[in-house]
Amino acid sequence: MSMLRELGDVVVAPPGAGADDWRAGIRGADALVSLLTDRVDGALMDAAGPSLRVIGQVAVGYDNVDVAAARARGIVVTHTPGVLTESVAEFTWALIFAITRRLVEGDRLLRRGGWKGWALDFLPGMELSGKQLGIVGAGRIGRAVARRAAAFGVTPVFAARAGATAGTIDGHAVMSFDELLVSADIVSLHVPLTPATKHLVDKRVLARMRRSAFLINTARGPVVDEEALAWALGEHLIAGAALDVYEREPAVHPALLPLENVVLAPHLGSATRETRTAMAELAARNVAAVLGGAPAITPVPA
């Protein structure tokens, strides 16, 4: 905030502010700093008027911003890639361990007084060593997740983009999405939300996965059809899932809530003090650059 205040007057939307609150306070703004929970559409941009020059999104993803509408109005849209790569990759592995070793399930059981002592067959999980991790999305975060795999004896493989041929990424095999589904012990999602990736994981995909496999989602909630996932988990078509993002945040599909074979986190992937600070600072630096007549540091891709 101190960086932004050096540029001029700063108006902060009240907690829980909706579109009407934004429109009432944005008139004449030169810049808008948005979070992934804000819907930044053409109407909001028009409410600001012709003075609006830059939108600084405090997130890597920008599906909440109508980028086409912004460009049509000559507004630069920026985001914060790179600075949250390591924290999200770390959290992805936290979810992998939590679901494969039944950590959260065990915590719940112990708290309700259900643990009766050590037993040979009590809550057996899946050992990671020797397993295959299928990574869908070979961007910064997906590749950072893969870099950590060797420490746990896990073999990472990447899903090829549609129309791409097999090869390698950072020395790891690339295979078709379908090949990955039928061979991976863990499938981890790291794709942006686009029309092509909405409900990428649906009933058909879940039915193709191994019965012993786990699904991890730290990307965007709508990449997974939650109703289909609840069905697959309930039918034990896959062994479990760990989610950090949801289709209709903060709501979670009610059929997921009672299931023991799912770990549910409240969108914590980038939630470290270091990363959230770096995200905010990068958004402010982007705004400062554009208002100062310089190119944006991290504009959204054309």
Instruction: Tokens for 194, please give them.
Output: 């686009």
Which residues of the chain form beta strands (DSSP E)? 31-34, 54-57, 76-78, 132-136, 155-159, 168-169, 172-175, 186-189, 214-217, 240-243, 262-264
Decide if 249 is catalytic.
yes
Active-site entry in 148, 199, 267, 276: 267
d(CA 242, CA 263): 4
Kindly tell me the sign of the dihedral angle through the C-alpha atoms of 61, 100, 200, 145. Answer: positive
Active-site entry in 220, 226, 247, 253: 220
Q: Is 250 exposed, middle or buried (0-12, 13-18, 19+ CB in 10 A)?
A: exposed
Active-site entry in 90, 249, 281, 285: 249
For the stretch 114-143, what's the b/e string if a residue is b when 16 or more beta carbons lie within 10 angstroms of its beta carbon?
A: eeeeeeeeeeebbebeebbbbbbbbebbbb
Query: What residues are labeled active site?
Result: 220, 249, 267
